[in-house]
Amino acid sequence: MIRMTLAEVAAAVAGRLQATDADTPDTTVDGTVDTDSRLIGPGDIFVAKPGETTDGHRFVAAAAQAGAALAIVEHPVDAPISQIVVADAVQALADLARTVVAQVRAGGDLRVVGITGSNGKTTTKNLLARILQDEGETVAPRASFNNEVGAPLTMLRVTADTRFLVSEFGAAAGGQIARLAGLVTPDIGVVLMVGLAHAGGFGGVEETLKAKTELVEAVRPGGVAVLNADDPRVVTMAAVAAARGVAVRWFGRSTAAELRAEDVEVTASGTTCVVVAGDERLPLRLRVLGEHHVMNALAALAAARELGVALRDGIARLETVEIAERWRMQPLGSDRVRIINDAYNASPDSMAAALRTLAQIAEPGQRKVAVLGAMSELGEYAGEEHDRVGLLAVRLRIERIVVVGRDARRLYLAAVGEGSWDGEAVFFETADEAFDYLSGELRDGDRVLVKSSNSAGLRHLGDRLGESFS
């Protein structure tokens, strides 16, 4: 974080300073801000956030012992550390982030990019950060820090020398993206797609569209919206951008896109295509598995171009990326039995994309095995969408469909009903049972996809399989 006095922090968060005898209102702090006391070090700022399972106030003393310089609390705590008392710690986190980013912007050339979409946010964020880091100091979220806590924590990592802030905005309900993006008023807003991810929380895909449009509405006038030309729902956001004086740049695979991909080919070692922009036609060799990541790469390249990065340079930097993120199309195991662990998140769209990738990368004689768990937060759509995935797996001729967890049982039944009734589809209640089965079932040449939402926990099963067959 930038250097601020305790008085300035208190003013930013509308809090009351209670300083120790060693501090005064003019004492300065510039450490990392975090809500996890285990990550606090000397000079850092600890935000005591009440949670569902525990209360951050219980760890203020531990943060002080670790060397924290300041705690932001909702009530005073008996601990040897200066404290700023606020009404709402999460709101204070947002207010502090807004103030810090505004000060850095006022004093330098910080550019802010916001990214949202039903799928692909984290991958696109990582790809864009890789491109920008060679241009100057770049701050981007760790993992999927995209909610009311994670997004401000990322924003608070900016310094006076930061040139680029890449923010990822997720949401489970309307209004959340507006609040988060409103903290920084992005120069560029990237919208990847509108699908059924979190549809249960939003109440349907049309409500999801409204929520994702909030990012375009938050882009500063004179800024740029980078939009997916292949998604009809995203295309409607162009009118919103125009009404706000925001320019639109299109990416995609259709001829309507200003930056598009042609001649896409998928192999077990990655994906190749030709990137076309005007008269430029440049090859791209992505090592990240999956045809769907071509769109994420295009979005990152389009945003980078708006920030002054030459297309050729952006492509060269993308080609150095080996995996987008842990548990996202992550290759594990060995050439003998290849495990693709993609079980950090799942929606109907990403599940279909992962299954198609599995079908594409398996060579003749190599068996395709899909280990599938539940897709969460689909609400009333859950049953029919799990049915669709089961049907798709059969139609893609996946030789073994291993379904794990009671919440995914509809997927198994759909696969059986579609024709996988001779042992091709199997069901297990637990990941341990599935691991025992797969340990004896997998054989040389198998290509194995592990895919589920985070809540299903299959990412750990993927790790176990990867280690077992390494």
- The amino acid at 21: D
Strand partners, 252: 260
Say whether 119 counts as a known binding-site residue.
yes
Which two three-digit tokens encode residue 415? 């696969």
Q: What span, in angstroms and rounded, lies between the C-alpha atoms of 126 and 296? A: 10
Which two three-digit tokens encode residue 197? 């991810």
Say whether 278 counts as a known binding-site residue.
no
Coil/strand/helix, residue 165: strand
Say whether 271 counts as a known binding-site residue.
no
Q: What span, in angstroms and rounded, lies between the C-alpha atoms of 114 and 185? A: 9
Say whether 41 counts as a known binding-site residue.
no
Contact 86, 13 (CB under 8 A): yes
Residue whose pair of structure tokens reads 């592990």 in the numeric block: 450
- Percent helix, strand and coil across the chain, each rounded to 5? 40, 20, 40
Which two three-digit tokens encode residue 99? 């103030």
Among 435, 379, 386, 380, residue whose Cα is nearest residue 409: 386
Q: What span, in angstroms and rounded, lies between the C-alpha atoms of 332 and 325? A: 13
Residues 6+ apart with CB under 8 A from 282: 274, 275, 311, 312, 315
- The amino acid at 353: A
Write out the DSSP string of 9-78.
HHHHTT-EEE--TT--TT-EE-S-EES-GGG--TT-EEE--B-SS-BGGGGHHHHHHTT-SEEEESS--S
Say whether 122 counts as a known binding-site residue.
yes
Backbone phi, then psi, for 288, in 5-degree steps?
A: -70, 130
Q: What span, in angstroms and rounded, lies between the C-alpha atoms of 233 and 220? A: 22
Strand partners, 190: 115, 226
Say whether 138 counts as a known binding-site residue.
no
Say whether 121 counts as a known binding-site residue.
yes
Contact 169, 114 (CB under 8 A): yes
Coil/strand/helix, residue 121: helix
Would you list which residues are annotated within the binding site? 117-123
Would you list which residues are annotated within the binding site for ATP? 117-123
